[in-house]
Chain A
Amino acid sequence: MSQSRQYELMYIVLPEVGEQELADLHQQVEVIVSRFGGTLDKTEAWGRRKLAYEIKRQREGTYVLDFITGPGEMVKELDRRLKVIDQVMRHLIVRVDEDVRIAERRRTEREAAVAKRRVARGLPPEAPDRFREDEPAGRNGELDAEDREGE
């Protein structure tokens, strides 16, 4: 009876690890995910990035970000395995579905309130385009290319 949930997995690999090994690591993650009946929705390779502080005597690391859907047991297993793999300097798994849902609800509530106010003032519910509060693209953590380089 395990529920499917959305997670974000980010891990930092030693900088000297090559393409091939990186692909192997990715494969390992994928295998674990599929074993628990989850899906790997998207992968973002951030590439080499300067670390904010030294980890294992390293000043740089290769960042990989995976968007995963699956049960909680899967996370447990991923966590355990990533801890064991030496090439992975650090990893973080964050559950996102709940927060995203709350954010979405807030947004729809806000839009409804705006529409209501507008109607009360005798205006059409939708604001003209130039006043619209559209969500700026690339929000919610997506980095632009310039950011990724690291300072």
Chain B
Amino acid sequence: MSFEDKGGRGGRKGGERAQGGQRRSFFRRRRVCKFCVEKIDYISYRDMKLLAPFIPERGKIQPRRISGVCASHQRKLQLAIKRARQMALVPYVTE
């Protein structure tokens, strides 16, 4: 409801003010924490399927500002990824 409204407005704004070259040139979908949405309370280091989307090619942990994960889940995710790294399930770095 209100969610859709926001989206529509954001999109129009971007289109109209394209000449201005201001900071929001296109509409970006509001990011929500995947773990909150799916109601995942415990992030296990063994669950590769769950961790994989947060480990980009380079092997670094995806920052919150990009993935949209909330602070508390990011902390849990961070711990899980670090444990997975120890067990060579996930790389520390990849060239």
Contact = CB atoms under 8 A, between A and B. Distances in A.
Which applies to chain A's interface (DSSP): helix, strand, loop or mixed?
mixed
Contact of A52 (B41, B44, B47, B90): B90
A142 B40 CA distance: 14
A10 B91 contact: no
Contact of A90 (B45, B48, B88): B88
Contacts of A107: 39, 41
B67 interface: no
B41 A90 contact: no
Which applies to chain B's interface (DSSP): helix, strand, loop or mixed?
loop
A12 B39 contact: no
Interface string B52-95: 00000000000000000000000000000001011111111000
Interface of A: 8, 10, 12, 51-53, 55, 61, 63, 65, 90, 92, 94, 99-100, 102-104, 106-107, 110, 133, 139-144, 147
